Amino acid sequence: MTTTRASGREQAGPATTTPIRPPIDPKVRGLRIVVGVVAAAAALYAPFYFPAAQNKVLSQALYLAIAAMGLNLLTGFNGQVSIGHGAFFGVGAFTSGLLVVKQGWPYEATIPVAALVAAVVGLLVGFPALRVRGLYLALVTLGLAVLFPQLGQKYVKGSGGVPLLQPSLTDTKSLLQGLADDQYAYYLTLLVLVIVTLLTWSLVNSRAGRAMVAVRDQELAAATVGVNLAQVKVLTFAISAAYAGAAGSLSFMIDRVADATNPVIYFQRSIEFLVAMVVGGAATITGPIVGALAVVLLRRNTEQLIEGKPILSPALFGAALIAIVYVLPEGIIGGVRRLTSRVTHRPPPPSTLTTTTSDTSV
């Protein structure tokens, strides 16, 4: 399902805007189908196998995947670095929170609204992003992630005046007979993830997707061949914010809180998205999903690794991140690709370009 493309930076001469897709080895294709079917079967069966608490963790991995996928559109495919997507996630969570708690909306109806509101905020942030690039964009988004909880603290009052919104148990009750609440939440999140994945896949393979990549690889060249830079960048920003917003909305159902009590939480979220994307494999379709699962599992295990020394858990998590980047510089998907191409005796596909700040150096 994933596509690879040539790295613009390593190529001399005029930039190609069409992704080069090497013919897929039938063995590889077969392998992919098998892996895909097994993964899908596992994903569908999981909530019947695991207890509720475990389903909650899996659902958290799924919404993390949705947010990471959104960030991947922006950063992986379009080359705009954001370390503030936690703010859009928060916008989504609070939109759902306010609509459900204060307006009495049915929860499910708030998911698209949350995505839309996040997209609008993304659009507003995306406009300055036309002029603010690379490093500066990263910093402006960082500021956003720090600002968001402060706004929440100032303007949102839940019970006891705490900036914390919580759905009642009936607000997030399963609408499907035979499914427990945790199973329902899981399937709803999975459904959104599937929709978002299909959307990403068709977007990346469309004209607009090629324009996104062209802007990432060779901005000026893309402009000279008629790509509307402003449109591409701002729209990508908005779409990616919408993904994060949808993820935030789902978190309101799964975590059962939307809060602004901890001033660094949305910054930490932003880092989580970035890490999930890079660990899984930037600029790939399935990378963020794999990365999100890896991050959630990693976090749970580093929390319990050293008995009696929980204070070390962030350090272990940090060390694990560095180790992964070391061993799998192209993320898990990149590593797997390398492995399969070695098995099938084919030359490895050209490396996936990941881009950042120094590309658009000051």
Partner 1 sequence: MTLFLQQLVNGIGNGVVYGAVALALVLIYRTTGVLNFAQGEMALFTTYLAWKFARSVPVAAAIALAFVIGFVGGAIIERVLIRPVEEARSPLNVVIVTLGLFLGINALPQLIFGTDSQQMPKPWPSDAAPGDVVGTTRAVKVGAVSVSWAVIALALMMVAVCALLWLLFQKTRLGLALRAVASNPESSRLVGINAGLTLMLGWALSAGLGAIVGPLVAARSTGFDASLMQGVLVFAFSAAALGGFDSVLGAVVGGLVVGIAEALTTQYVDPLNGIEVLLPLLLILGVLLIRPNGLFGRRTVERV
Partner 2 sequence: MTRSPTGRLVAVLLALVLVAASCSKRDSSNTVTGGGGGTGNNGQSSIDTSNCSVDPTKPIPGNTIRLVSSFPQSGLTAAFSEIADGWKAYFKMVNTEQGGVTIAGKKYKIETKDKDDTYDPAKTASNISDLVGSGSLDSVFGAFMVVGTAGNLAIRQDLAAKCVPDFFAATGSPALGDPSFPWAIGATNPPYTVEVKAFAEYLKKNKPNARVAVLAQDDDFGTAYIDGFNQAIKGTGIKVAKVEKYKPGAVDVGTQITSLAATKADAFLSGGTLLACPDSLKKAVAAGWRPLTYVSGTCASKTLMGLAGSAGDKALTTTNLEDPLNPKWANDPAMKEYRTKAKQYSPVANLDLTNGIVAYGWTQGALFVKALQAAKAPTRLAVMESVYNMNGVRAGLLRPGFSITTSQNDRYMGEKVQFGRYNAAKGYFEDLGSPEDFEGRTASITPKAVITGNG
Least distance from C-beta 131 to partner 2, angstroms? 29
Nearer to partner 1, 178 or 308 (CB): 308
Task: Decide: is 240 part of the binding site for partner 1 (CB under 8 A).
Answer: no
Helices 313-327 and 287-304: angle between axes, nearest 10 degrees: 140
Pick one of partner 2, partner 1, none as the site partner of residue 339 (Cβ within 5 to 8 A by kind).
none
| Residues in binding contact with partner 1, number by CB under 8 A | 58
Least distance from C-beta 219 to partner 1, angstroms? 8
Nearer to partner 1, 188 or 276 (CB): 276
Helices 287-304 and 331-343: angle between axes, nearest 10 degrees: 110
Q: For tokens 């799998």, what's the residue?
A: 328
Which of the stretches 163-171, 203-211, 246-254, 350-358 binds partner 1 when contact is defined by CB under 8 A?
350-358
Least distance from C-beta 147 to partner 1, angstroms? 5
Please give the residues from 72 up to 101 whose contact with partner 1 meets the rule CB under 8 A: 75, 81
Neighbours of 265 (CB within 10 A): 17
Task: Decide: is 49 part of the binding site for partner 1 (CB under 8 A).
Answer: no
Pick one of partner 1, partner 2, none as the site partner of residue 207 (Cβ within 5 to 8 A by kind).
none
Residue 79 backbone class (left: φ over 0; alpha: ψ -120 to 50; beta: rest): left
Least distance from C-beta 206 to partner 1, angstroms? 24
Pick one of partner 2, partner 1, none as the site partner of residue 208 (Cβ within 5 to 8 A by kind).
none
Please give the residues from 303 up to 342 whose contact with partner 1 meets the rule CB under 8 A: 309, 311-315, 317-322, 325-326, 329-330
Cα–Cα distance measured from residue 252 to residue 167, given in angstroms and rounded to the nearest whole number: 8
Integer CA distances (angstroms), 268 to 75, 85, 93, 101, 166, in order = 17, 10, 15, 25, 21
Task: Decide: is 169 part of the binding site for partner 1 (CB under 8 A).
Answer: no
Evaluated on CA atoms 111, 265, 307, 321, the torsion sign reads positive
Nearer to partner 1, 2 or 54 (CB): 2
Least distance from C-beta 265 to partner 1, angstroms? 13
Nearer to partner 2, 45 or 128 (CB): 45
Residues contacting 190, CB < 8 A, separation 6+: 43, 44, 62
Neighbours of 159 (CB within 10 A): 9
Least distance from C-beta 272 to partner 2, angstroms? 12
Q: CB-based burial of residue 14 (10 Å sphere; 0-12 exposed, 13-18 middle, 19+ buried)?
A: exposed
Least distance from C-beta 113 to partner 2, angstroms? 21
Q: Which of 154, 157, 173, 342 is close enough to bind partner 1 by CB under 8 A?
A: 154
Pick one of partner 1, partner 2, none as the site partner of residue 106 (Cβ within 5 to 8 A by kind).
none
Least distance from C-beta 182 to partner 2, angstroms? 9
From the CA atom positions of the chain, what is the Rg in Å? 20
Neighbours of 125 (CB within 10 A): 22
DSSP states of 273-332 as a string?
A: HHHHHHHH-TT-SSHHHHHHHHHHHHHHHHHHSSTT-GGGHHHHHHHHHHHHHHH-TTHH
Strand, helix or coil for residue 235 = helix
Q: Give contact residues for partner 1 (rule: CB under 8 A).
A: 75, 81, 128, 131-133, 135-136, 138-140, 142-144, 146-147, 150-151, 153-154, 218-221, 224, 264, 271, 274-275, 278-279, 282, 309, 311-315, 317-322, 325-326, 329-330, 351, 354-362
